[in-house]
């Protein structure tokens, strides 16, 4: 799914389970305004841990930040254990079969995207910030994904260059406010929000 695309009704009507969710379907988890959908790599990934922490900091630091809805490869129990350490109040959908990952266009990374030089540089950054690699689980080749959705459409998505890449979360609310209200969305590159 690309920026500007409508989210298919059958996907919105898919029943979900996970952590801190309202019982029901995907559409029941989305805010009446914007929602930031965040697709995590496997829960042992150092970048996954860094990403959740950075999103929590951005969310708590700006009242304009949209509600965040995570997707993860695992069971509700695994997600609850993981989030209890990094963001206990976070909402997350368990997607072990990767149904939502595939539907939203989250792909498996290439060797370079998951183990290339840029990944090792990002790993040093994450280690220096105090994050650690955990036990691998799920599809370790799966890339992350971040999409801003609103009114049943993808308004924006970050195009990941590698597994350790990430947009500037703190500037997302301002960048999204600058998007035109009608028309197609936008995709970011190289960590820039828009």
For residues 170-177, average pLDDT: 87
Distances (CA, A) of 160 to 30, 36, 107: 23, 16, 10
Q: What is the mean pLDDT of the chain?
A: 90
Strand runs labelled E in the chain = 15-16, 18-19, 24-25, 35-39, 68-72, 91-94, 145-150, 153-158, 186-188
Domains of the chain: 9-188 (3.40.30.10)
**Confidence grade of residue 193 (pLDDT, cut at 50, 70, 90):** very low
Q: pLDDT tens, 112-157?
A: 999 999 999 999 999 999 999 988 888 999 999 999 999 999 999 9
Q: pLDDT tens, 7-34?
A: 999 999 999 999 999 999 999 999 889 9
User: Poorest-confidence range of 38-47, 77-86, 153-162, 176-185?
Assistant: 176-185
User: Poorest-confidence range of 9-13, 79-83, 180-184?
Assistant: 180-184
């Amino acid at each position: 799914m690309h920026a500007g695309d409508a989210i298919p009704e059958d996907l919105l009507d898919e029943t979900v389970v996970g952590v801190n969710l309202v019982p029901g379907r995907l559409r029941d988890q989305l805010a009446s305004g914007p929602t930031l959908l965040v697709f995590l790599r496997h829960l042992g990934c150092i970048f996954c841990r860094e990403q959740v922490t950075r999103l929590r900091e951005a969310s708590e630091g700006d009242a304009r930040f949209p509600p965040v809805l995570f997707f993860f490869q695992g069971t509700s129990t695994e997600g609850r254990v993981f989030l209890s350490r990094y963001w206990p109040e976070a909402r997350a959908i368990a997607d072990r079969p990767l149904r939502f990952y595939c539907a939203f266009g989250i792909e498996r990374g290439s060797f370079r995207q998951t183990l290339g030089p840029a990944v090792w540089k990002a790993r040093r950054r994450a280690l220096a910030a105090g994050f650690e690699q955990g036990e691998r689980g799920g599809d370790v080749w799966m890339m992350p994904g971040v999409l801003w959705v609103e009114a049943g459409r993808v308004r924006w998505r970050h195009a990941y260059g590698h597994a350790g890449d990430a947009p500037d979360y703190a500037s997302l609310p301002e960048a999204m406010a600058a998007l035109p209200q009608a028309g197609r969305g936008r995709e970011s590159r190289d960590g820039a929000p828009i």
